[in-house]
């Protein structure tokens, strides 16, 4: 009888295991945008030997204290982000009522609106209140609040965003904040232990653990969002990530942030095994640009590329599939001027191998216009080394002299507007050979009160010609709070160009 029962139990166990395996093998994971887990002067602190966190040796290895030490150090620098935005309902609930009383078109009726609340996470990267998060957490929001681990709350404002990488930088008015240490994601290896820290499902300050499951993942979750090109080079992890974790930290065993948690692979909108994080090196490049220029200035190589398949490898006489295949080169681009040709295979960028199209995009995407990259190229059975000076999209100015360091920006009053240098096409359109183009204006700011609007070009400060953005900042930094400054603007309206004068008051520093 004992043997019979044992056999029956064994058979039943095998049946159960078979069913479970069948379910796992037939389950499909949908990667949908809805499944998003809800020499420069740096404002953040990078890892060094003195602040990199606990160092483990064979003699004192203790997994329990190792995790608790890391959490104790990093947790205070992770915040909750609460957002509110107004959304318009697709259908007007009063349409049928009004239709009964007359043939009124629906688009003539008032469109109903509702307030939508959101939740995300953020990483404090400077003592004076700069916080790193995801673009999709703060995109198009009306209100933005940040809650610290001690339950103190602050109003926040968006400093800058980059939809291409889903990274955003926000700011609160605070001092002496606990700051996360940012590591080097280029040194990350598959199999490393990592912790995900954030605020999933409104559960404040939650920690989960896992390993790095894969690197250089492209999951097509950003493609087509906001009509911009995407740069996806995600870190994949099995540390549990859920809605609300977005913008939180992925941390290594040294207590360094090596990724910004962003998305999950799911068919339910909740965690089903894998999450994805933006590498911190990519996020740092975005933050540096936002601080220096008020926008992301991304270098472009100017090639169309594809994966090197086994067939492609045979066709170009490679020993095995590696590198990234150049299908065509844009005329006049950085690649064209560097001598890159269609049919080439790009093997590395600045000594770092690239074996997928998104890896090449990521390596180039963290560079600025004007940067020179060294490419190893495979052509006609031989390796070549070429140097390419990257250009900006739409001929964006690539002169490094236009860069504004954070040190210089301290001298510049916050007028509440963002500026960029004009490219050649814009100079022709406005018939200028210099100036600073206004790209955005904050509500109730000094610029707004002076009736400056996006699309205006600042061509003079108190009668002196403005050559570039850096020249404008240099001129405006010489004034003090309360001074009235005369600006000449060039405006394009209904294809007609005209100049106008405005007066702006230099505000007090906040």
> Does 245 appear as a known binding residue?
yes
Alpha carbon of residue 176 to chain centroid: 25
The one catalytic residue in 136, 164, 213, 289 is 136
Helix (H) / strand (E) containing 462 = none
Alpha carbon separation from 199 to 149, 203, 242, 272, 341 (Å, rounded): 11, 5, 9, 17, 48
Closest C-alpha to 137, from 171, 172, 166: 166
Neighbours of 103 (CB within 10 A): 6
Q: What are phi and psi of 88, to 5 degrees?
A: -95, 135
Q: Which residues pair with 346 in a beta bridge?
A: 324, 377
246 is in an annotated binding site: yes
Task: Yes or no: say if 61 and 85 are a contact pair by the CB < 8 Å rule.
Answer: no
Q: Record the tokens describing residue 286, joined without a space.
A: 């975005």
Is 166 annotated for ligand binding? yes
Q: Which residue has the tokens 């007359």?
A: 102
Give the residue among 455, 468, 461, 460 at the shortest CA–CA distance from 494.
455
**Of the residues 35, 77, 80, 246, which is catalytic?**
246
What the block records as the tokens of 139 is: 């995109």
CA gap 252, 259 in Å, rounded = 9
Strand bridging mode 181-182 / 45-46: parallel
Give the residue ranges of DSSP H helices in 1-100.
Answer: 2-26, 63-74, 95-99
Contact 488, 501 (CB under 8 A): yes
| Known active-site residue 108 | no
Distance CA 405, CA 411 (A): 11
What is the radius of gyration, based on Cα positions, of the chain? 27
306 near 366, Cβ under 8 Å?
Answer: no
Q: What is the dihedral of CA 404, 406, 411, 416, to 10 degrees?
A: 80
**Residue 185 known to be catalytic:** no
- Provide the b/e sequence for 246-274 (b: ≥16 CB within 10 Å): bbbbbbbbbbbbbbbbbbbbbeebebeeb
Query: Of 162, 166, 456, 471, which residue is the catalytic one?
Result: 166
* Count of Cβ atoms closer than 10 Å to residue 78 Cβ: 28
Catalytic residue check, 433: no
Q: Which residues are catalytic?
A: 136, 166, 246
| Residue list for the binding site | 136, 166, 244-246
| Residue list for the binding site for substrate | 136, 166, 244-246
């Amino acid at each position: 009888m004992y043997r019979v029962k044992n056999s029956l139990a064994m058979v039943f166990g095998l049946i159960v295991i078979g069913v479970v395996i069948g379910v796992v093998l037939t389950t499909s994971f949908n990667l949908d945008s809805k499944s998003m887990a809800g020499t420069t002067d740096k404002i953040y602190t990078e890892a060094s030997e003195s602040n990199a966190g606990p160092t483990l040796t064979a003699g004192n290895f203790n997994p329990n204290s190792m995790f608790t030490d890391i959490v104790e150090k990093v947790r205070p620098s992770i915040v909750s982000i609460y957002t509110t935005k107004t959304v318009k309902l697709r259908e007007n609930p009063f349409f049928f009522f009004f239709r009964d009383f007359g043939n009124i078109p629906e688009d003539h009726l008032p469109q109903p609106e509702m307030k939508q609340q959101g939740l995300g996470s953020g990483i404090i990267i400077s003592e004076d209140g700069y916080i790193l998060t995801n673009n999709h957490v703060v995109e198009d929001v009306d209100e933005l609040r940040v809650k610290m681990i001690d339950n103190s709350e602050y109003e926040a404002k968006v400093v800058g965003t980059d939809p291409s990488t889903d990274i955003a930088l926000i700011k609160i008015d605070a001092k002496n904040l606990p700051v996360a240490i940012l590591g080097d994601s280029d040194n990350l290896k598959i199999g490393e232990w990592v912790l995900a820290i954030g605020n999933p499902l409104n559960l404040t300050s939650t920690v989960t653990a896992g390993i790095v499951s894969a690197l250089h993942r492209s999951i097509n979750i950003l493609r087509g969002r906001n009509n911009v090109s995407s740069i996806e080079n995600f870190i994949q992890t099995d540390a549990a990530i859920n809605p609300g974790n977005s913008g939180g930290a992925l941390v290594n065993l040294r207590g360094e942030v090596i990724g910004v948690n962003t998305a999950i692979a799911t068919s339910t909108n909740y965690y089903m095994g894998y999450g994805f994080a933006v590498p911190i090196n990519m996020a740092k490049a975005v933050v540096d640009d936002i601080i220096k220029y008020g926008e992301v200035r991304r270098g472009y190589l100017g090639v169309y590329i594809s994966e090197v398949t086994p067939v492609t490898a045979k066709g170009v006489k490679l020993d095995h599939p590696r590198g990234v295949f150049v299908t065509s080169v844009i005329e006049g681009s950085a690649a064209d001027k560097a001598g890159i040709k269609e049919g080439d295979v790009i093997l590395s960028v600045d000594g770092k191998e690239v074996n997928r199209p998104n890896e090449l995009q990521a390596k180039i995407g963290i560079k600025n216009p004007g940067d020179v990259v060294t490419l190893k190229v495979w052509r006609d059975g031989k390796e070549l080394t070429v140097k390419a000076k990257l250009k900006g999209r739409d001929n964006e100015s690539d002169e490094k002299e236009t860069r504004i360091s954070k040190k210089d920006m301290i001298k510049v009053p916050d007028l509440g507007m963002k500026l960029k240098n004009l490219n050649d096409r814009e100079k022709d359109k406005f018939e200028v050979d210099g100036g600073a183009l206004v790209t955005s204006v904050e509500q109730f700011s000094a610029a707004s009160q002076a009736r400056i609007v996006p699309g205006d070009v600042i061509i003079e400060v108190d009668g002196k010609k403005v050559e570039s953005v850096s020249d404008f900042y240099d001129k405006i930094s010489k004034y003090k709070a309360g001074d009235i400054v005369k600006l000449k603007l060039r405006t394009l309206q209904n294809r007609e160009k005209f100049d106008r004068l405005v007066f702006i008051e230099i505000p007090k520093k906040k």
